[in-house]
Amino acid sequence: MPPVFDPARFNFDNQSIDIDGISTSGGTALSGITDYNQSDGGGFWRAEFSDGEIGGTSNADREDVLAWRSIVAQMKRGTRVVDVLFNDRWHQPVLGIQAYTNPAPDLISSSLFRSGGAVGTVTSVVNGQAGGLRATIITADILSERQLKGGERFTLLHSTWGPRAYQIATIEDGGLISFIPPIRGGVEVGDSIDFDTIACRMQLVSATDSLSLGLYADPSISFVEYMRSPDE
């Protein structure tokens, strides 16, 4: 299993998680507009975190620093993939409050609370190639507190491609959910959709990303979706 990078742990001031693309332009016309079309096959995720705040003299600070060093060591300068958590629960159609055991019990509480997540199951795959590869429209049974409006993100776990994040574009009549980017690997009827833990398999943008860290540090790190076929 690849290591998991949880940005919540490192208090980043700025974070940008979005779908990036590469476009081909047709040059600027006399009217001043430029025609574009996208040439990347549907976009890919890019996540940039900067100005983290970690380090300090308390035990919790110490553990944050150790966690950072550990994850950096596990990524082996970008040659290994990492599952990046998106942590944007407010914009998810999550269910109500649920108690769970505090993984690091402190004096105040041995249990914490979080949203119960919205659970979904794929009921049909509308387009795409064999095995649901590159599908961009599905229908799904979703049990959630809030109605889907478009803009939410979800994760599908594929057996070899790992967790991949998708962003809903529109909810159409008949429950058609269209999203970008196209499905990696494939999707089948009955696969479960996760609106609670949004994660995407990514890798470091470059081997020379800033990974320096002293007692206090404001680390920055950038990821891009891992693109290679896992079975090659």
Partner 1 sequence: MNESYGIRIAADPIARLWSGVGDLLVPADIVEDAPARYIGGGAIINAPDFQQLINGTAERLEIRVSGVDAETVALARTEGPSVIGAKVHLVRFDFDDDWQLVDVEYEAVFRADKLTVSSTSEEGGRTRTITLSVGTENTNRSRAPIAFFTQQDQQRRSPDDLIFDHVSGITLGKSRRFGPK
Binding interface with partner 1 (CB under 8 A)? 22, 24, 37-44, 127-130, 133-134, 136-137, 161, 178, 180-182, 184-185, 207-208, 225, 227-229, 232
Smallest gap from residue 15 Cβ to partner 1 (A): 22
For residues 43 and 175, which CB has a smaller minimum distance to partner 1 in the complex? 43
Smallest gap from residue 228 Cβ to partner 1 (A): 4
Smallest gap from residue 108 Cβ to partner 1 (A): 45
Smallest gap from residue 76 Cβ to partner 1 (A): 14
Smallest gap from residue 43 Cβ to partner 1 (A): 8
For residues 55 and 186, which CB has a smaller minimum distance to partner 1 in the complex? 186
For residues 111 and 229, which CB has a smaller minimum distance to partner 1 in the complex? 229
Nearest Cα residue to 21 out of 5, 1, 45: 45
For residues 3 and 78, which CB has a smaller minimum distance to partner 1 in the complex? 78
For residues 67 and 137, which CB has a smaller minimum distance to partner 1 in the complex? 137
The upper half-sphere exposure of residue 87, i.e. CA atoms within 13 Å in the direction of its Cβ, equals 16
For residues 116 and 230, which CB has a smaller minimum distance to partner 1 in the complex? 230
Distance from chain centroid for Cα 141? 22
CA dist., res. 65 & res. 55, Å (int): 6
What letter represents residue 80's amino acid? R
Please give the full DSSP string across 29-89, using - where no structure is assigned: -TTS-EEEEE-SSS-EEEEEEE---B--SSHHHHHHHHHHHHHHHHHGGGTS-EEEE---G
Q: What is the 3-state secondary structure (H, E, C) of 102-141?
A: CCCCCCCCCEEEEECCCEEEEEEECCCCHHHCCCCEEEEE
For residues 59 and 229, which CB has a smaller minimum distance to partner 1 in the complex? 229
What letter represents residue 184's amino acid? R
* Cis, bond preceding 181 (omega within 30 deg of 0): yes
On whether the CB atoms of residues 154 and 118 are closer than 8 A, the answer is: no
Smallest gap from residue 47 Cβ to partner 1 (A): 15
Smallest gap from residue 186 Cβ to partner 1 (A): 9
